[in-house]
Amino acid sequence: MNKKPARWALMLAVLILTSCGGYTKIGRITADPSRYRNRTVRVEGHVTNAFGALSSGGYQVEDDTGKIVVISNQGIPSKGSRVAVSGRVMEGITLMGRSYGTAIQEHGHQAH
């Protein structure tokens, strides 16, 4: 009995399950921004504030753990929208254990 196809199928399933996985909680990013600096993350939440013009600007996304600003040149979702965002974390400054200015440079977003 040839076990190679079964092994390949198992490895493929593990790869798919680990790559299509979840979102990073915003609170984890803002609590330790240096850990996520220049890494691509996916977050999900509600848009609590939006600003910009002509498809450029930013918006703030909130989940149950915190809020983060998303910088975009691909269109701004409206306030109250539920969105899934992927992008690169840009670290601001950390003062007395609290992060200020941490943001996500958006690669893309999808409104739900």
DSSP class per residue in 4-17: HHHHHHHHHHHHHH
Residue 75 near residue 55, CB atoms below 8 Å = yes
Does the CA dihedral 58-26-83-21 come out positive or negative?
Answer: positive
Q: Kindly state the average pLDDT of the residues 66-81.
A: 93
Model confidence at 18: pLDDT above 50: no
Q: Kindly state the average pLDDT of the residues 27-43.
A: 94
36, burial (CB in 10 Å: exposed 0-12, middle 13-18, buried 19+): buried
Q: Kindly state the average pLDDT of the residues 18-40.
A: 86
Q: Which band of pLDDT confidence, cut at 50, 70 and 90, is reported for residue 61?
A: very high
Q: How does pLDDT run across 84-100, given as a tens digit for each residue?
A: 999 999 987 666 666 66
The pLDDT, as a whole number, for residue 45 is 98
Backbone angles phi, psi at 5, to 5 degrees: -60, -35
